[in-house]
Amino acid sequence: MDHTRQIVLGTYNQEKRTELQQLLAPLGIELQTLKEYPDAIEVEEDGISFTENATKKATEQAVHLGRWVLAEDSGLCVDALKGAPGIYSARFSGEEATDESNNDLLLEKLQGLPDEKRGAHYVCHITLSDPSGNAILQTEDKCHGRIAHERHGTHGFGYDPLFLIPEYHLTFGELGPAVKGLLSHRAKATREFVAQLNGLLRKNPQLLSKK
């Protein structure tokens, strides 16, 4: 891999890095995380949409670090909850939320609802910012499913043990990373991102090169 091309992923989440690195590898891009930048800032996610939050995280961190930064904002939108938890997915059950407490609260709020009223979709919005804070590239995609009545499987993170793909009759927690890498909101948004970034790199091969 040509390690002269680097992008900083605006998160400390190593699982997200692993998912995205596999998709960016064909372009010869090394994906780092904020863990490798002790001076990274904490960007306040106070936007009212996935787009606003992703763009804010990418552009503000890029200017601070002087690096190319890729940020994504994603979450779960549940029909019966009028789109909640949405942009608040990570802290659905409070500021000290964990995956377990978020899943517990979701099950509690949907208790007694039949399958046909448990529709939901994941959303992922991706923004790439240049070191000057310009949003160069943005993509967004969704993955539709429904919320199971109880947890199934141990793969993934977040709401994956509850997010059921009807066509497979299995949750992301059961399907595992290979299938999730094809179907998920993040995978689909990233594939579009990779395609568009590839086009930019063909026009300007030095676009992401380290100075």
Contact in structure between 16 and 9 (CB atoms under 8 Å): yes
Catalytic amino acids? 73
User: How many CB atoms sit inside 10 A of residue 44's CB?
Assistant: 10
Q: Could you name the CATH architecture of 5-203? A: Alpha-Beta Complex (3.90)
pLDDT average per 10 residues of sequence, the chain (211 residues): 76 82 84 94 93 97 96 96 96 95 98 97 97 96 97 93 96 89 89 92 85 52
Contact in structure between 55 and 33 (CB atoms under 8 Å): no
Annotated binding-site positions for Mg(2+): 44, 73
Annotated binding-site positions: 11-16, 44, 73-74, 157-160, 180, 185-186
Annotated binding-site positions for substrate: 11-16, 74, 157-160, 180, 185-186
Kindly report whether the global pTM for this prediction surpasses the value 0.85.
Answer: yes
Identity of the residue numbered 12: Y
Helix (H) or strand (E) holding 128: strand 119-129
DSSP H helical ranges for 66-171: 99-109
Contacts of 164 (CB under 8 A, 6+ apart): 145, 146, 147, 148, 152, 170, 171
Say whether 41 sits in a helix, a strand or coil: coil
Spatial strand order of the sheet with 5-9 comes to: 29-33, 5-9, 69-78, 119-129, 135-147, 163-165, 170-171
Compute CA distances 169 → 76, 115, 172, 173, whole Å. 19, 12, 10, 12
Backbone phi and psi for residue 48, each to the nearest 5 degrees, phi listed first? -105, 10
Return the exposure string of 67-92: e unless at least 16 CB atoms fall within 10 Å of the residue's CB, then b. Answer: bbbbbbbbbbbbeebeebbbbebbeb
DSSP state, residue 26: G
pLDDT per residue as tens digits for the range 128-187:
999 999 999 999 999 999 999 999 999 988 999 999 999 999 999 999 888 888 899 988
